Structure formats: structure tokens, C-alpha cells
Amino acid sequence: MPDLTGPAALVPFPLTYEQDRFHAKTRSSGWAHKNVQLAFEILGDLDTDALAAAVRAFVVRHDALHLQMAEDPGPHPQQWTRPVGAEEEVVRRVKVRATSPGQFSRYASTLLSRDFVTPWSYGTRRPFVVRLLRYDEHHHALLATFQNLVFDGRAHHLFGHEIWRDYEALRRGGSPPDTAPSFAAAAVRQRARTDPRQRERARASWRERLEFQARTSWTAPAGTGRAEGGTVGAELSAAAVAALRRVCAESRSTVLQWTVGAFVAALAARTGRAEVGLWTSMDSRSTRDQDVVGMFAGSCPLTVTDATAGASAVREQVRDQLLNALKHQRLTAEEIAVLTREAEAAGGAPVTRDLYVNLRRYDGDSPLADDGGRLRITSDAYPLRRIAFHDTHALHLRCTEFRDRLFVALLYDGHRADRPLARAILDDVLAGVAAACPSAA
């Protein structure tokens, strides 16, 4: 990538609250660096020039990907943007001399894995690497990694959606959009919208939720042994998801809110816990900023005070908690650290993140469109190699909603929560779907 140490027009703008918290996390000891990664296997008659142009257009119009910081940013950094130069390389094209498709895939996985764990060199490089690998004229791989300081789950979705949309437009002789909503402007608006009174309300909300977390620390259910962790999962069909959406519309909830509520109710039924403290990742984008690429996702606590109240009442508590967390998300890392220490002192126990839920929703269908039969595109085709992921949560629920599918996975750590418990909870969630939507069974 080009050296960007030359002169630039430095127009600082504030970090988002989520950037501030992420940056603080990277400065703390013991945290393993990871970039956001995307990978597509592309089989068929690919127009490589059109795809490279689509990726370049995405990078040029989204100013979060122009972000620069000082070489040593310190605890309270400034950031600014430097536009992409006309001759600047955005997509690295590589012809891979592999003896088989399998060897090509292993090489792509190795390269993606290396980029995934390579920290961003502040002050010298762009916060992304995009590679287009060629095995032969009908077999390619697109690999992309982005520094998490400028790229979250919503940005991940926008990249996958926009580059293939623009690829098709270019292939038909059209042009991709020249501009996109500005991350810098959105960051300024986020800070400007938070006045001292709102911040004090946010601190009060976080204080209450953190004290709840300290008071309701997770304990392994009786009979839980020590074993390897793992995952149980399920997929809901298009018919089941459509039926569940109709049920959710009647209760003014979303599919993801419904699923988390069912998870909490099942957890309470299987463990006897009346109070359940959860953590989740919350996207604080405003309605006008939904198409802004950048970093607006940060974790936050949720409290369910009566998880035994029945599935409907639990879902309502979850929905209200998610809305409350979104309303009070805007605090700095320093403010949250102070509140955490106060909560631990008041509760006499550490604030842990034993129960975690990840909620992701995509607008399109689960498989990517195949470009009218000319291309077969597979996402997440290249597994990371020699990288071990250690989930710090006892139970970690992952829900991914597409227009035509819902994927639910429940990870368990093996000694605070085991496979029988995870399997029973997931089965209860699925039974709840079947009971609510008998026509989709």
C-alpha cells in the first residue's frame, strides 16, 4: 500500500463513542488484534476490471476508509481523512500459481488469515487491504480486511451489498454512485446530539445496568462438568421466518427481539434464574445515518428482571431493554470504566460478560445473487488458518436474519455451560417458534 506520510489537509473530527471505546480496548494489555474480514469465492465469467472498479468506487465514496491518525495516537487521539488519490492502488491483483483449486483455496485462507491479524500502522497506511486473486479465468477470490476502528457489522453488510450492485451496474455500462453519506459528518452529529443532561441520564442508566450485572453473576448450573466448548445451531426456513414476522408484527417486535426473548425465557426455565444479565452489541446509527460506513457498534448490558414471567412478558422486557440501551449508548470508555468500578464495589462482585447475544440483520436473501447465472458467489469461503478463537462467554447466542432465512447458533464454553444445557435451550427456542407459527412447521 502507498506511504501516506506526505502532506495532507488535516481537518480533525471527533471519534465516535464506539471508536473511543474500541481504541481504549486496543491500548489495554492482553487484547488480541483482529480486523474485520470478508471473503468471496467467485466462479464463472468474472469481469475483473468491473469488480476492481466497483471496489474502488466504494472506497472512494466512503470517507471512513480515508481515515488517518497520528503514528502514535495516544489515549485521546484525533482523526482526519485524506481522500484516495487518482493513481492510488486500492485493489491488489494477484495471479496465483496453484496446482489445484484446493491449493488455491488454502493459499487464499492463509493470505486472509495474515491480513486478519495484522494491526493497522497508524499514520502510514490505509485502514484496509483488498486483494483479488486469480486461479484461472473462471475462478477468483476477493479478500478484504478492514480496521475495526472504521468498520463495523453494518459497514460489513454495506460492502457486500454495494460492490455487487455496482459491479452489475458497471458491467451493463452504467456508473456507481460518486458520493455516500459522510462518516466524519455523522461522527460530529453524534457528539453534538449529546448534551450534559443526556449524558447524565446515560450514566444513570449504565450505572443501574452494571450494578445488576455485578449482582447477578452467572454460576454454572448443578451437574455442569468440564468439557470442550462447542456450538449447537439451527436454521429457520423462509416459510418459518415469514410466519414469525407476522407474529412479531402483532406484538410490535422484530424477529431478532423475539428470538432473544425466547432464549432468555428458555434459559430461565432450564436454570431457574429469575434475573438474567446479558450483553449485546448495539449499533447507535441514527435513522439518517443507516448507510454510513464507519464504526458505530459497541457492547452494552441488558437486564431482564423477571425471566420467569412467561415468554410474552420476557420478550417485552427484552424489547424495552434494547430500546433503552440504544437511547443511552453514548458514553466514552473512560466513563464506562469508572461506572464499572463503582458497580463492582457496590455489588461486591466483578461485572462479567458470561451471557452474550449477537444480532445481525441483512436486507437480502441468504445466498448472494448469482448474477443471472454467470457467476456463483460464495461468501465466507476461506476459513481462517492457525487462528484460535477463545470465546469468553459461558453462552453466546448468534442470530443472523436474512429475508429468507434465520440462522441461530448457541456457543457454550464447556465448563460454565455445557452441551446438554445449550441443546435444551435451543430446542426450547425452536419449540417456541413452532408453537407461535404452527402453519410454518
pLDDT score recorded for residue 347: 84
pLDDT band at 362 (very low <50, low <70, confident <90, very high): confident
Contact 343, 352 (CB under 8 A): no
d(CA 93, CA 95) in angstroms, rounded, equals 7
Q: Residues near 8 by Cβ (< 8 Å), separated by ≥ 6?
A: 68, 80, 82
Q: Is the Cβ–Cβ distance between 132 and 94 less than 8 Å? A: yes
Q: Is the pLDDT of residue 33 over 90?
A: no
**Cβ atoms within 10 Å of 172's Cβ, excluding its own:** 8
> At 365, is the pLDDT very low, low, confident or very high (cuts 50, 70, 90)?
confident
Give 141 or 380, the one with higher predicted confidence: 141
* C-alpha to C-alpha distance for 138 and 374, rounded to whole angstroms: 10
Share in percent of the chain as helix, strand, coil (round to 5): 40, 20, 40
Residue 175 · residue 169 · CB < 8 Å: yes
Mean per-residue pLDDT of the chain: 90
Nine-digit cell string for 278 = 446479558
Evaluate if residue 5 carries a pLDDT over 50. Answer: no
Judge whether 50 and 323 are in contact, CB under 8 Å.
no
Query: In angstroms, rounded to a whole number, what is the distance separating the alpha carbons of residues 126 and 118?
Result: 13
Checking phi first, is residue 27 left (phi over 0); if not, alpha (psi -120 to 50) or beta? alpha
Q: Is the pLDDT of residue 381 over 80?
A: yes
DSSP for 261-304? HHHHHHHHHHH--SSEEEEEEEE---GGGTT--S--EEEEEEEE
**How many CA atoms are closer than 13 Å to the CA of 402, on its beta-carbon side?**
15
Contact 251, 437 (CB under 8 A): no
What's the CATH class of domain 17-187?
alpha beta
In the chain, what percentage of residues exceed pLDDT 90?
A: 74
The predicted model gives 304-314 an average pLDDT of 91
pLDDT for 339-355, tens place per residue?
999 999 998 899 999 99
Residue among 382, 361, 349, 425 at smallest CA distance from 145: 382
> Cα–Cα distance between 270 and 176 in angstroms, integer?
52
Going by C-alpha positions, the residue among 165, 105, 12, 113 that lies closest to residue 386 is 113
Residues 145 and 115 sit within 8 Å (Cβ to Cβ)? yes
The Cα 152–Cα 363 span in angstroms is 16
**Assigned fold of 195-440:** Chloramphenicol Acetyltransferase (3.30.559)
383-430 pLDDT per residue, tens:
998 876 666 899 999 999 988 899 999 999 999 999 999 999 999 999
Q: Around Cβ 403, how many Cβ atoms within 10 Å?
A: 14
Task: Record the cell numbers describing residue 94, joined without a space.
Answer: 494477484
How far is the C-alpha of 50 from the C-alpha of 69, rounded, in Å?
31
CB-CB contact of 80 with 63 (8 Å)? no
Residues 171, 46: Cα–Cα separation, whole Å? 10
Q: Three-state SS for 418?
A: coil
For the chain, what are the domain ranges?
17-187, 195-440
Beta-carbon contacts of residue 249 (< 8 Å; ≥ 6 apart): none
Q: Quote the pLDDT of residue 116.
A: 94
| Residues 218, 416 contacting (CB under 8 angstroms) | yes
Residue 238 burial (CB count, 10 A): 15
